[in-house]
Amino acid sequence: MGPVIDSVLPRFAEPILNVTVTVGKDALMACVVENLRNYKVAWVRVDTQTILSIHHSVITQNPRVSLSYNDHRSWYLHISNVQDVDRGWYMCQVNTDPMRSRQGYLQVVVPPRILEKDSSTDMVVRETSDISLQCRAKGYPDPYVMWRREDGKDINYNGDMVNVVDGEVLTIRKVSRLHMGAYLCIASNGVPPSISRRVFLRVQFPPMLSIANQLEGAFVGQDVSLECQTEAFPSSINYWTTERGDMIVNGKPVRGEKYETSSIDQGYSRFMTLKIRNVTKKDFGSYQCVAKNSLGETDGVIKLEEIPGPISKTTVLNGTTLSEKERLKMKQERYSKQEAEEYQWQDTDFVVEEEIVPTTVLEDPPRPSCSKINLSSYVLTLLSHIVAAELFS
């Protein structure tokens, strides 16, 4: 008898599925009952024992809760604009005796958010002091919070170089100028979007100065540049002075001016250059690079000394001094003349010292004494005598 009665009672066709929804979205929970007949379905909030709906009617006063159904079989509980307080167990029950029911869990997840009033803002501290940057975050599940530098560089974290520091609090002991920069607090919990907060850390320190070359050399008439590097925060006032204490004022380069000053800023560093044009005797001496801020001042000295200028080779000809260029030109002309004399042999005169003996009975040609003759004429005369001798032999 029992089994027969049980077979005609309502039964749940499937379990109620757990639902996860992001806060602010809408949630839908389904209850499927077969063989319901004249029995009724109700939705109940388990933890508060609050009845939300009975059959076709919504009982709760919560305007975000509504009900829908289909073919007297599927019953849907709708919760719009889900909030944290909606998280929990929900029961679908049928008014049999004893009551039959199924439960499903509504999980409400919340993306992280940073609590502004409990988190650090931009900070200015003195070098060597201890600092703590705080970043409080909320969300569900609880957010994971980490710190890193905005520029991606490693953080000197109490002696260790690390790229990321876990936790809501970043504590740095004996902060230095190398810690200066923007830091990002990043909170995430797997529910998009992750969120970040930017905190800029500024570290104050008095000026420091370095000079790569404290001794520079130049010859008269040369242009020379003197260089020095300073570090300071707050930014320092920088300038140059001469050995007499005269300040060399910064300004735009002007043609014909003796001095030209320039500087390039890189963070808390500044690279200074002093250019001295057309150096004269009175320009040799000491120049001072000076840096001042509200925390102190410093200076460095660069000494400019005279060195010998480039030497130009000269040649004295007949009391006249010739430059290297003129001397080379004369040398090239002399060699060109010698080459012409060597190769133009047909126009060259020779001295003939032996006597020419004819082999013919003809009248001897005049015997030349040691004299200068033209080579071409000599050859022609010799050939004519040889021909005549052959004819009369």
What's the whole-number average pLDDT of the chain? Answer: 84
pLDDT (0 to 100) of residue 311: 77
pLDDT (0 to 100) of residue 386: 63
Query: Mind listing the pLDDT tens digit for each residue in 26-76?
Result: 999 999 999 999 999 999 999 999 999 999 999 999 999 999 999 889 999
pLDDT (0 to 100) of residue 240: 96
Half-sphere exposure of 193 (CA within 13 A, CB side): 2
Q: For residue 321, is pLDDT > 60?
A: no
pLDDT (0 to 100) of residue 388: 55
- Residue 132 dihedral angles phi and psi, to the nearest 5°: -135, 125
Q: How far apart are CA 102 and CA 119, in angstroms?
A: 44
Domains 115-206 and 211-306 share a fold: yes
Q: How far apart are CA 77 and CA 62, in angstroms?
A: 13
Q: For residue 231, is pLDDT > 90?
A: yes
Ranges of each domain in the chain: 2-110, 115-206, 211-306, 314-343, 347-392
| Closest residue by Cα to residue 183 from 173, 174, 171, 193 | 171
The region of weakest confidence among 26-30, 47-51, 294-298, 321-325 is 321-325
Which CATH entry fits the domain spanning 211-306: 1.10.3720.10, 1.20.190.20, 2.60.40.10, 3.30.413.10?
2.60.40.10
Using an 8 Å Cβ cutoff, are 189 and 144 in contact?
yes
Q: Under CATH, domain 2-110 is a member of which superfamily?
A: Immunoglobulins (2.60.40.10)
Q: How far apart are CA 291 and CA 319, in angstroms?
A: 58
Q: What is the CATH number of domain 115-206?
A: 2.60.40.10
The region of weakest confidence among 23-32, 153-162, 310-319, 368-377 is 368-377
Greater confidence (52 vs 393) lies with 52
CA dist list (Å): 96 to 101, 196, 276? 10, 54, 104
Query: Mind listing the pLDDT tens digit for each residue in 73-116?
Result: 999 999 999 999 999 999 999 999 999 999 999 999 999 999 99
Whether the pTM exceeds 0.75: the reply is: no
Q: How far apart are CA 191 and CA 186, in angstroms?
A: 13
Greater confidence (318 vs 93) lies with 93
